[in-house]
């Protein structure tokens, strides 16, 4: 079934295929291209108080006008602390070329608070050249991390802001989210340990968290939402069952991810990419087959709950540093990983589409190790978000991890300390995961490739 579009008071609505099978065949990053949209995004960054009046149409109107694949050629992104309670409510943005390649930044965008503080610090120190580059970094879109229950209420204000922009410009928008709050989260490391535990009703609390996200998104159905689901969780299931905490968590991880897919994919404006770790973790011959099998198992588990459950594909390299077709070291190239995983996914009945985080992949000329994931002292900002990718199986290059946020503390006395964050490959001293890390941000800007 082909899509049809109409313009009503400046808002783009799409009528899309109803079956999940057909929906999964359309990239949320490319749908606008099928409509030959010439689009250019201007998003203004601001703190959102959540008090805006909701203008959600009634259910019948939703059925008539709301499409699952509203063009996300314009992406409404945000920088947000992964774990900090006082989460930032800011947006960053990108500008889209006519062919829907994300190719340039909008100079009208305001900068988010984290980067604004970084710019001010650099200017005060007299480093005006680096400050100018930092201001440009702030305009690159990243995902909003919904990493605790308290973050959920930030979703609908961001959606309403995107809807308002969509209405005023006639250009379809999308909001990018990371759903990241499984019970016993980060079971093998702990630097990003979450708020829920299995022994304290963690599974039921997680289901309530997912339902709350559903409710937030449902309030603003006109805006496309792109979700990265539970980074690193599959990696822990595949490789870390010798860790008692992970062995205990694995069944809950599976049930939680399947529940999230079944619930959130029922929304007509949501596209989900389940996280599949990265090449250096799951790309090896002994891990890649089980990865495809597990992803299919999770999708089938979702279909047992909701027969129409579906996903668009997988995300990889979230918060990591691997290259994309430019890393000669075996096991550290995401393009190789995607190309090797894709046929296995297809054979297992899982959609072989990818989005790949390249936010910190700018430096590829040093020797990688499996334990260099925390505040890597060699890293730099990488290729900018784009739908111009090296293989059709890759829907988009994205920046999932907000640059400037730490991966974990180097304080060995801290509750969430992980030895990897105090290693020779880490920039030290480092704050808690999700906290602003000025020195690291400056390193990423300095080492950026392409340079800003």
Residues annotated as catalytic are 232, 407
Classify strands 75-76 and 11-15 as parallel, antiparallel or unpaired.
Answer: unpaired
Are residues 78 and 92 in contact, defined by beta-carbon separation less than 8 angstroms? yes
3-state secondary structure 287-342: HHHHHHHHHHHHHHHHHHHCCCCCCCEEEECCCCCCECCCCCCCCCEHHHHHHHHH
Are residues 417 and 426 in contact, defined by beta-carbon separation less than 8 angstroms? no
Are residues 80 and 87 in contact, defined by beta-carbon separation less than 8 angstroms? yes
Are residues 177 and 155 in contact, defined by beta-carbon separation less than 8 angstroms? yes
Which among 287, 350, 286 has a CA at the least distance from the CA of 342?
A: 350
d(CA 70, CA 225): 9
Q: Helices in 9-143 by DSSP H: which ranges?
A: 20-23, 31-34, 59-65, 113-124, 128-137
Are residues 222 and 166 in contact, defined by beta-carbon separation less than 8 angstroms? yes
């Amino acid at each position: 079934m082909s899509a049809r579009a109409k313009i009503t008071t400046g808002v783009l609505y799409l009528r899309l295929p109803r079956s999940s099978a057909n929906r999964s065949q359309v990239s949320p990053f490319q749908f606008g291209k099928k409509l030959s949209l010439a689009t250019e995004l201007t998003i203004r960054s601001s703190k959102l108080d959540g008090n805006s009046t909701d203008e959600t149409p009634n259910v019948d109107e939703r059925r008539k006008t709301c499409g699952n694949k509203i063009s996300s050629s314009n992406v409404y992104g945000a920088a947000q602390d992964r774990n900090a309670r006082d989460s930032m409510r800011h947006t960053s943005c990108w500008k889209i070329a006519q062919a829907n390649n994300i190719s340039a930044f909008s100079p009208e965008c305001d900068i988010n608070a984290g980067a604004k503080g970084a710019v001010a610090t650099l200017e005060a120190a007299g480093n005006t050249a680096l400050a100018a580059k930092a201001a440009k970094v702030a305009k690159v879109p990243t995902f909003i991390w919904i990493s605790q229950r308290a973050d959920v209420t930030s979703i609908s204000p961001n959606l309403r802001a995107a809807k308002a922009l969509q209405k005023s410009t006639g250009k379809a928008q999308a909001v990018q989210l990371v759903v990241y709050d499984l019970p016993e989260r980060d079971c093998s490391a702990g630097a990003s340990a979450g708020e829920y535990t299995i022994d304290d009703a963690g599974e039921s609390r997680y289901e309530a968290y997912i339902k709350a996200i559903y409710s937030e998104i449902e309030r603003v159905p006109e805006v496309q939402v792109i979700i990265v689901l539970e980074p690193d969780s599959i990696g822990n299931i595949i490789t870390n069952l010798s860790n008692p905490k992970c062995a205990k968590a694995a069944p809950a991880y599976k049930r939680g991810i399947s529940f999230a897919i079944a619930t959130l994919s029922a929304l007509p404006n949501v596209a989900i990419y389940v996280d599949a770790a990265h090449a250096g973790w799951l790309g090896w011959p002994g891990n890649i087959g089980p990865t495809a099998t597990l992803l299919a198992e999770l999708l089938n588990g979702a279909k047992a709950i909701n027969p129409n459950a579906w996903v668009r594909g997988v995300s990889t390299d979230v918060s990591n540093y691997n290259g994309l077709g430019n890393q000669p070291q075996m096991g550290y190239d995401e393009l190789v990983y995607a190309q090797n995983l894709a046929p296995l996914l297809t054979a297992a009945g899982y959609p072989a589409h990818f989005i790949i985080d390249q936010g910190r992949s700018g430096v590829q000329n040093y020797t990688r190790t499996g334990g260099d994931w925390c505040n890597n002292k060699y890293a730099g900002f990488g290729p900018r978000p784009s739908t111009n990718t090296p293989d059709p199986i890759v829907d988009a290059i994205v920046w999932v991890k907000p640059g400037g946020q730490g991966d974990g503390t180097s304080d060995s006395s801290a509750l969430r300390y992980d030895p990897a964050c105090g290693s020779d490959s880490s920039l030290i001293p480092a704050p808690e995961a999700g906290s602003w890390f000025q020195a690291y941000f400056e390193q990423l800007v300095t080492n950026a490739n392409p340079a800003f």
